[in-house]
Structure 1
């Protein structure tokens, strides 16, 4: 829509580019609303209730107190539910649509109230500086340690080179996986000794008559704890001049690897090159009676889509949930739960990669389409 010159989309782009400023504008708007409701709303409700209590022959002090309490609770309830929680829920579920409709009013409000916003932000920054604290951006820590665990490269098991294997066997791995860099292990994935660049490997392999000494091509590897925040990981990878880092768990073992591309994609979005295969959507609605899902789709999304009650507290993904119920399940086998039938389409050892979901009652396509469009 931005490329087409859509004014509302351009307004969203402008708001996102200065997120801190517009978040401050929203906070000021919420504060003004709260003060306004307290100033006008509570006295109005109290004025309505006071005669009611007086007609019940209550003492003046009691009727005044009850009127004030009920007015305070009612206005606070309306402000929190109608003014904050409900709009926040709608914005989360319909993020794109809400952003398109609200960005322009927020931009104008920010322009009108800019002197006050600037004064409040400057005062707050100066105040925290008095305590020796550096002022922080509203979204500086958007990428947390949990997100780092999400972007662990899941191809580690198939995409590693063993120093003890022959060059021919390692060459087969390189041809099959087609990565530029590979971790080199010493028998076990928990003993990673470095990284090799396949370009150097091929130059040595076809440029010399002597057998390739794999150990001479191994480059140092950076190791970080899997709970490291993304921003700290990026700084370390830049400092060390590496493209791949090994993630270490609490027991000192290897939990996976993360590439510089993985980190950047979390910050700027998907990065694709000419070697990336066309990606298939996580959820493919074939028709109202048949939906194909990637095993990584969250259970909460499945529950929302089918109005089901899968245990999202115990398991995060549909693949993990199905495996926990039927670990011995083979491809094309079915498992029935509540109002849904699950068909395993693709698996590998202990992991379910692709699952078909067949609802006993046809899926309401319009509801899903609206939600899907707001997330696209």
Structure 2
């Protein structure tokens, strides 16, 4: 019995397995992230240490994988086709065809079988496994791949060096590692895909998206406007300011010397009530604490850092003329990340967006244009104003309740006004 075909078949099986190894290695080391290896490195796993070395020298080890795939492919071509042809020749000879046709058919079938085995078992299946299980595959192939790289280092160095020269001549840069950076838009798309696939929930997606927007917000966009500020007058008695406390029910209040444009500090209600309980004739002056002053264009991330550093929970927003434009609290800043924070005194607070039906919304006049655009899928843009109320005022200077403004087939109706301030806007989608 001729054992040579059996030996050749076993050799082909080994070569296909080695092809699968190098293909898995190639795709896994490209897909794996270094952060996935850190927990394994911390516990001293040797394969993780080897994997870390591989992904930090990606160019060299990709060359090793390509060399391995090329060597095994040549070996498969050298052994598989002649072996399959020799095994198929007696079978095809039974048919009434010429010798030349038998040889041609045997070669063709042998080529198809070898190609099928090489592509499906040696490449496609390993590629899918490596992509889906990049971490496990990388840890599995790391140490053998390092040894293969060391064994054939002279050849890899020569091939890789030649490739580098060609790449540089074409104006490209060699790959040093695959730790790529992503733009904000790319990260948002990754988050959206992760949300659709169920990897993260809606709250997690909202928080991360809010973080991106948080970095772009300025004080003017989130402040409580001057017209809605509740504050104490320094000259008023504590009894007079009690009415303000009952109306506002806040923890801290800004203190004005003469008017809203001269805010000199803030008071903490806990200190005020404690002092009042001890001495009914106490004045408000001794409870005044410093308050921050920031410009309208100050990024809110800087405002938050300043509040944390100085341990002050409130800031006055000043306009370009030095007047008071509004105020910001720590709660206002945190709401930009986590959403509305409601306490026991916010039961009657109306949300900024009320959905009447699928095509009708009633929104606060303070709602940002960016939020309106996101809700409606349109592009309201005005460099002079930030809110839907401000946009309607600049669009129609004679704005009053009932006025309708049409834009991109949407109808914007002033639902409620307080003096010259637009409080509510009804939006009807087409």
TM-score class, shorter-chain normalisation, is: 0.5 to 0.7
Partner of 2:328 in structure 1?
258
Partner of 1:319 in structure 2?
389
Partner of 1:334 in structure 2?
403
Q: Retained in 2: the 8 A contact 1:145–1:228?
A: no
SS at the partner of 2:261?
Answer: strand
Partner of 1:352 in structure 2?
422
Deviation at 1:288?
A: 4.5
Q: Retained in 2: the 8 A contact 1:161–1:185?
A: yes
Q: Retained in 1: the 8 A contact 2:223–2:327?
A: yes
Q: Retained in 2: the 8 A contact 1:200–1:217?
A: yes
SS at the partner of 2:224?
Answer: coil
Residues 30-179 of structure 1 correspond to what in structure 2 (within 5 A)?
A: 88=185, 97-101=192-196, 143-144=214-215, 146-154=217-225, 157-179=228-250
Give RMSD over aligned pairs: 4.3
Stretches of structure 1 lacking an aligned partner (at least 5 in a row): 1-18, 23-27, 33-83, 106-138, 362-376
Deviation at 1:244?
A: 1.5
Q: Retained in 1: the 8 A contact 2:253–2:268?
A: yes
Residues 219-368 of structure 1 correspond to what in structure 2 (within 5 A)?
A: 219-277=289-347, 280-288=350-358, 290-299=360-369, 302=372, 312=382, 315-331=385-401, 333-337=402-406, 339-359=409-429, 361=430
* 2:276 maps to 1:205: yes
Partner of 2:259 in structure 1?
188
The CA deviation string for residues 252-302 of structure 1, in whole angstroms up to 9 with x for no partner, is: 333322222233334555444333336544333323553212223344655
SS at the partner of 1:98?
Answer: helix
Distance 2:322 2:387 in 1: 26
Q: Retained in 1: the 8 A contact 2:266–2:288?
A: yes
Q: Retained in 2: the 8 A contact 1:161–1:182?
A: yes
SS at the partner of 2:260?
Answer: strand
1:243/1:298 CA distance change after superposition, 3 Å: closer
Distance 1:269 1:304 in 2: 16
Stretches of structure 2 lacking an aligned partner (at least 5 in a row): 1-32, 37-54, 60-181, 201-209
Distance 2:391 2:363 in 1: 13
Q: Who wins on radius of gyration, i.e. which is larger?
A: 2
Deviation at 1:171?
A: 1.5
The CA deviation string for residues 85-123 of structure 1, in whole angstroms up to 9 with x for no partner, is: 9x959x85x886523246869xxxxxxxxxxxxxxxxxx
Where is the helix percentage greater, Structure 1 or Structure 2? 2
1:261/1:302 CA distance change after superposition, 3 Å: closer
Q: Retained in 1: the 8 A contact 2:215–2:300?
A: yes
Distance 1:142 1:300 in 2: 10
Q: Retained in 2: the 8 A contact 1:335–1:341?
A: yes
Partner of 1:370 in structure 2?
none
Equivalent residues, number: 248
1:172/1:229 CA distance change after superposition, 3 Å: same
Q: Retained in 2: the 8 A contact 1:225–1:247?
A: yes
Distance 1:269 1:220 in 2: 28
Deviation at 1:178?
A: 0.9
Distance 1:234 1:304 in 2: 26
SS at the partner of 1:256?
Answer: strand
Q: Retained in 2: the 8 A contact 1:158–1:177?
A: no
Deviation at 1:354?
A: 0.7
1:336/1:155 CA distance change after superposition, 3 Å: closer
Partner of 1:42 in structure 2?
none
Q: Retained in 2: the 8 A contact 1:292–1:357?
A: yes
Partner of 1:9 in structure 2?
none
